[in-house]
Amino acid sequence: MSNSENKTESRIIVTADGSHSVYNTQMGLHYHSIFGALQESQRVFIELGLWAAFERFDAIRVFEMGFGTGLNALLTLLEAEKTGRAIAYTAVEAYPLPLDEARELNFDEILHSHSLPALHEAPWNGPVAITPHFQLTKQEGYLQQFSSEDRFNLVYYDAFAPEAQPELWTAELFEKVAGMLVPGGILTTYCSKGYVQRNLKAAGFTVEKHPGPARKREVLRAIRN
Ligand SMILES: C[S@@+](CC[C@H](N)C(=O)[O-])C[C@H]1O[C@@H](n2cnc3c(N)ncnc32)[C@H](O)[C@@H]1O
C-alpha cells in the first residue's frame, strides 16, 4: 500500500506558541491548531493520552493516526526517555511530508532535543530503535487499509477534521480502531463534535470530555469497553 506517487503540497507555518505546523495548500488544512501546535499535542496526546496509559499499562504500544510532522512522536519519545518507560510507537501516514520540509520544522529547537531528524529519516514499514526506550514503526498507507497483529494500549487519533475527511470519523472506522486496542485501551482526539462522540460510543468506547488546550473548550478521551 505504497503512496509514494501521492505528492503533498504544503508549507510550514508558525503557530501562536511559536511552534511550527504545516499547512496543506491542496486541501486548505492545517496539521495542528493555529493557536499552538505544541500546546495542542502536549495536552491532547501526552497529558490526556500517554500519562493515562502510563498509569494503566506497563509496556506501552502507541498507534498514531497520521504521522505528519512527527510532533506527537517526538513528544512521546521525550517522555519515554524522561521516564525510562519503553514505548513501541506505530504511525500510519498516507501522504508523508517531503524530508526537506520536515528538516525545517523547529520542534527540536523549541524542545531542546535532537531526535526529529531520526524520526523522519527512519525507513518506512519496519521497526527502528530510535533511542533506548523508543521504537518507531512508520507505516506508509491509509488507516482504512492498515492491519497489524499488535494490539495497542493507546491511539492518538490525529486525523484532519471531520469536515474535511468525514470518512475517518465514522462508527465503522472507529470499530476497526477499537479492535486494534486492548480492552481498557485509550483513544484521544482533539475533536469533540457531537457525532464524533456518538460514533465513538457506537463503536464500543466510553467517552470522556476534558478541557482542551488554548481556545479549545473540550477534547476527548475514549476508553475501549
Ligand atoms: C491533522 S494532520 C496530523 C499530523 C500529525 N499527527 C502531526 O502532529 O503532524 C493529519 C495527518 O493524517 C494524514 N492522513 C490523511 N488521511 C489519511 C489516511 N486515510 N490514512 C493515514 N493518514 C492520513 C495526513 O497526511 C496528515 O499527516
| Mean pLDDT of the chain, nearest integer | 95
Distance CA(219)–CA(48), nearest Å, equals: 9
Q: What is the mean pLDDT of residues 99-105?
A: 97
Identity at 37, one-letter amino acid code: A
At residue 164, the pLDDT reads 95
Which has the closest alpha carbon to 89: 56, 109, 118, 113? 118
Q: What is the mean pLDDT of residues 144-172?
A: 97
Q: Is 27 exposed, middle or buried (0-12, 13-18, 19+ CB in 10 A)?
A: middle
pLDDT in tens, 67-94: 999 999 999 999 999 999 999 999 999 9
**Helix (H) or strand (E) run with residue 38 in it:** helix 37-41
Residue 204 has pLDDT above 90, yes or no: yes
List b or e across 52-89, with b for residues whose CB sees 16 or more CB atoms inside 10 angstroms: bbbeebeebbbbbbbbbbbbbbbbbbbbbbeeebebbb
Please report which confidence band the pLDDT of residue 1 belongs to, taking 50, 70 and 90 as the band edges.
Answer: very low
Please report which confidence band the pLDDT of residue 7 belongs to, taking 50, 70 and 90 as the band edges.
Answer: low
What predicted TM-score, i.e. pTM, was given to this entire model?
Answer: 0.96
pLDDT in tens, 169-193: 999 999 999 999 999 999 999 999 9
Query: Which residue has its alpha carbon closest to ligand 1 atom 4?
Result: 68
At residue 49, the pLDDT reads 98
Distance CA(71)–CA(166), nearest Å, equals: 24
Query: Which residue has its alpha carbon closest to ligand 1 atom 11?
Result: 66
Residue 6 has pLDDT above 70, yes or no: no
Which has the closest alpha carbon to 86: 123, 127, 129? 129
203 Cα: distance to centroid of ligand 1 (angstroms) = 21
Question: C-alpha angle 146/149/151, rounded to 5°?
Answer: 90
118 Cα: distance to centroid of ligand 1 (angstroms) = 19
Residues near ligand 1 with C-beta < 6 Å?
A: 31, 66, 68-69, 71-72, 92-95, 142-144, 158-160, 165, 168
Contact status, residue 61 vs residue 150, Cβ threshold 8 Å? yes
